[in-house]
Amino acid sequence: QPVRLVPLQGPEIDQMMRDNRFLTADIIPAGIYISEQNAIPTISVSAQWVVNVGLDEERVYQVTRALWDERNRAAWDGAHARAAEITPQSALAGITIPLHAGALRYYREVGLLPLAGSQKSDPAD
């Protein structure tokens, strides 16, 4: 039986995303489902790595740095059909909990978050 996907878009969806910051706008690419030849607007929930606040800052920093090292890009690309969309920038979308100090340090270092002391230094704020 063919599948028909219903587009999720419009003012109600926009309001839902404002009310639930963990939801982000997304697109199901054309051809993912045989019966759908057009791209379908939708919403998604990002996967997040969560660690205990007590974990050593340097360790979390090093893991975050290794995760996004370009030498690991081939592993990402071979692991998931939409891996090209998984980037340090996309990792910050939909975050509703504070970043660990080690991850915060990495994202500040690479310029994806403002430096400490700025008005908005954590995406969960």
More confident residue, 64 or 85: 64
Q: Which pTM value belongs to this model?
A: 0.70
**Element housing 15 (H / E):** helix 11-19
CB 60 within 8 A of CB 51: yes
Confidence of residue 125 (pLDDT cuts 50, 70, 90): low
20-39 pLDDT tens trace = 988 989 999 888 888 888 99
Element (H, E) at 89: helix 88-91
The whole-angstrom separation of Cα 36 and Cα 5 is: 7
Q: What share of the chain is helix, strand, coil (3-state, %, to 5)?
A: 35, 10, 55
| Model pLDDT, residue 6 | 93
Q: Which of 57-61, 89-93, 121-125 has the lowest mean pLDDT?
A: 121-125
pLDDT tens by residue, 5-24: 899 999 999 999 999 988 98
Check: CB of residue 63 under 8 Å from CB of residue 106. Answer: no
pLDDT, residue 1, reads 75
- Cβ-in-10-Å burial (0-12, 13-18, 19+) of 79 comes to exposed
- pLDDT (tens digit, 9 = 90+) per residue, 69-121? 999 888 888 887 778 888 898 888 878 889 999 999 999 999 999 987 665 55
